[in-house]
């Protein structure tokens, strides 16, 4: 993946710098829910390397049939990914998971290039602001891109 120069602008984390990681790999955290499962499955089927994790491991296990690596922890899923995508339904779950080793893994243990956190759960503006501040503390790029209407219809496709 070509590096992305993330300039500070309204609605972003305010972190300027070069972000990279292995852009050919996407970690999907919350991969057992309807939205996360659909996204992870479609990415894997399209040939993208996917590292999937869910708090209920059995829910994400079928993704292995499509070529996804199903990780034992969220931090393990994030390790080496260029994009870490969260599809968790509640801000508390998002913040807990991200602070439980994921942001450290994204930071690259001191490397100059970092992964980008793509937050896709519809968690609301106040919660998104909390995520932006958290990403900024870790020097990680942040993009808010909530998916709406992906629930049951997305899981059925």
Q: Please, are residues 117 and 98 in contact by the beta-carbon 8 Å criterion?
A: yes
Q: Where are the domains of the chain?
A: 41-72, 73-148
pLDDT tens digit at each of 157 positions of the chain: 333 333 333 333 333 333 344 458 999 999 999 999 999 999 999 999 999 999 999 999 999 999 999 999 999 999 989 999 999 989 999 999 999 999 999 986 444 566 899 999 989 999 999 999 999 999 899 999 988 764 444 444 3
What pLDDT score does 20 carry? 41
Burial, 7: exposed, middle or buried (Cβ in 10 Å; 0-12, 13-18, 19+)?
Answer: exposed
Beta strands 141-144 and 69-70, pairing class: unpaired
Which pLDDT score, from 0 to 100, does residue 88 have? 93
Please report the pLDDT score of residue 107 as a whole number.
82
**Among the four given CATH numbers 1.10.3300.10, 3.40.50.300, 3.40.50.720, 3.40.640.10, the one describing domain 73-148:** 3.40.50.720
Tokens found for residue 44? 């894997």
In this prediction, residue 1 carries a pLDDT of 32
C-alpha–C-alpha distance, residues 66 and 135, integer Å: 31
Q: Are 155 and 38 in contact (CB under 8 A)?
A: yes
* Model confidence, pTM: 0.80
3-class DSSP state for residue 46?
Answer: coil
């Amino acid at each position: 993946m070509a590096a992305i120069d993330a300039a500070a602008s309204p609605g972003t984390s305010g972190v300027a710098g070069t972000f990279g990681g292995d852009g050919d790999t996407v970690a999907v955290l919350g991969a057992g829910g309807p939205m996360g499962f659909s996204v992870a499955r479609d990415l894997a089927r399209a040939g993208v390397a996917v590292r999937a994790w869910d708090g209920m491991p059995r829910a994400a296990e079928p993704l292995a049939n499509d070529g996804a690596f199903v990780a034992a922890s969220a931090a393990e899923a994030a390790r080496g990914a260029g994009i870490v995508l969260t599809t968790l339904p509640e801000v508390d779950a998002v913040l807990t998971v991200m602070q439980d080793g994921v942001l450290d893994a994204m930071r690259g243990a001191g490397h100059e290039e970092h992964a980008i956190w793509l937050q896709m759960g519809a968690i609301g503006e106040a919660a998104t602001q909390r995520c932006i501040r958290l990403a900024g503390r870790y020097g990680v790029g942040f993009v808010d891109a909530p998916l709406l209407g992906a629930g049951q219809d997305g899981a059925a496709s």
